[in-house]
Chains A and B, each alone.
Chain A
């Protein structure tokens, strides 16, 4: 089976980052007098999957864009791979972003380009040889099980398929850090599970560092309590009701961090707001 062979041939890359991958230090940002994020500080270690939870409008998407340097904070500093993205000029950020993959909330596929051109975008910009581009595009689409859609336009795809193509586009360059902004937002439960399985596959096979924004608690806890089985090509609960040790949580409310810790700490929290949010 080609997919098994593909994954078996690619050894899981070990993170070569010795320090934290993402560091937010007292970051605040406001839009038109509305404080969106206030005094946000947290760290993401290499190989860790940090799930960002919170009610709608609490600043989760803004946090993702700050991490990628798409927005600049009003105060505080953001370090990604040891470099201060909050102060870097855009030209230098382009180079850093080669190590970061981002999946946007509404996919953000280029609708005038085919799926192939969307996934190959970064490689075309880098003037990679066309046969290598084609090979990597097909590998990436095979990863998200959409190889047959290679010549379709985004308008011909369903919402779930667009989201999968967006993931393929984000992972085709084998980034060390992946930012998922609500990858299951607006999707039905079955399609959401498919997307979460892909996120899990990326985590367990390639051991990337990831920030996953979601407002769906079931997706968050699925990520924390399941693992991807390479042999059977599906996710399975971690044996003995285990928890993935590299999956941690960050909960935001009204622009502030209300929880930063492990799955077990979150589940056993005494905070009344958190208890109500999780119930």
Chain B
């Protein structure tokens, strides 16, 4: 089965390394992925508060595109960005539950010769990797196990809340299991789904910085060598404000922040450029040199 892929704007800009590593990992696993043709902005969380109907219509257009073709099976739409994932799920739910909204959005789609009948399954790559592809297949693909690497798995606030479709809302474990399958050690910590501040780092920096400091400080305190994320905004916040946190809050929080798929790519033995590791501001953590003097990261 080919997964339809909705990149969203982040994966084409600030989160390019997420797209690069994601596609590289799926290639390595021989799972076909096809980018949705003519996709548009999902509206993210911001547009919802500007004009709800238009925001839903915007997201619904992508769902309508994803529904085209497909031979009877429910089309699987992969949305790697947490905001896209949440907005698409929310749109599906609202259209299904509120017929007045559904009619308005339907009229809008009809005007551009589209229709959406609610058949698309919106999937997060973490869900696909663990529940469709499976840990066994992933384990088999590991060429450079990340033995000795301690990893703080950070799920962020959006992929399990409010729609806990593939994991629990309070203590998700999917990513931890995946990390263990790569040979690394997931760090037990209670902040897996705590907010990174989202856009607050830009709008109310004293709050945004404090929230990121909590996450980074706690991950370091637990001995994490790296923190991994599945959201472009989380990655941006946690990585790019480390200097500001040092300056403003006098806390040393330097820690590599990589995407889950970058870490997977490392374990699969993919090259740095395939994974976009050269784009990081804080260099990625490397697995310890294994016995026999050979670097695990070939």
Q: Are A and B co-members of a single complex?
A: no
